[in-house]
Amino acid sequence: MASSDSVVQALKRRCAFEVVSLKEADNQLWILGRVPPDMARVNENNWNFVVSRLLIAETQRPWKVDLSRKYLLRGGKLAHAKRFILDAENVKQHYADVANIIATTPKAAVDVMEIPLGDGLGRDRNNPSGGRRGAGPAGSVAVGPAAVFTKMRGG
């Protein structure tokens, strides 16, 4: 028979879930934790997929799951944690099933929102104080025949 640790490990592998507290009773498993943020929001998207899969599965299983947020006050600031409650008669016998559902949940695709484009040009291309490309304040950059003369002198 699987333990509550199998559920916790499945959550950790799928969406980097970090357990804050865990309580176990005969008919209930209660886990409070967090999903750490990442730049592409992959962890949060994976959590959403896990939530969807568990809610679909509970309609055909003898167990029920409550997935919600618990709001907390930490140092005067509002914070929230993910709450995972599994209810069933003799809940321990369902740990393997729940862990399997979590582990087989598809991973979220990464959507790239922004990519810095390398244009191959120097940093001073649009420098208004003068530089290689001839940009500079009005009145201080040679134009016309003066530019040709300056160029001939090596400038």
pLDDT level of residue 11 (50, 70, 90 thresholds)? very high
Asked if the structure places residue 141 within a domain, the reply is no
Asked if the structure places residue 59 within a domain, the reply is yes
* Whole-number CA gyration radius for the chain: 29
Is the pLDDT score of 65 beyond 60? yes
Asked if the structure places residue 129 within a domain, the reply is no
pTM of the model: 0.68
- The C-alpha atoms of residue 101 and residue 99 are separated, in whole angstroms, by 5
Q: What is the DSSP code (8-state) at residue 77?
A: E
> Which structural domain, as residue segments, surrounds residue 74?
4-103
Asked if the structure places residue 136 within a domain, the reply is no
Whole-Å CA distances, 76 to 21, 73, 79: 21, 6, 9
Q: For position 95, what pLDDT does the model report? A: 94
Is the pLDDT score of 138 beyond 90? no
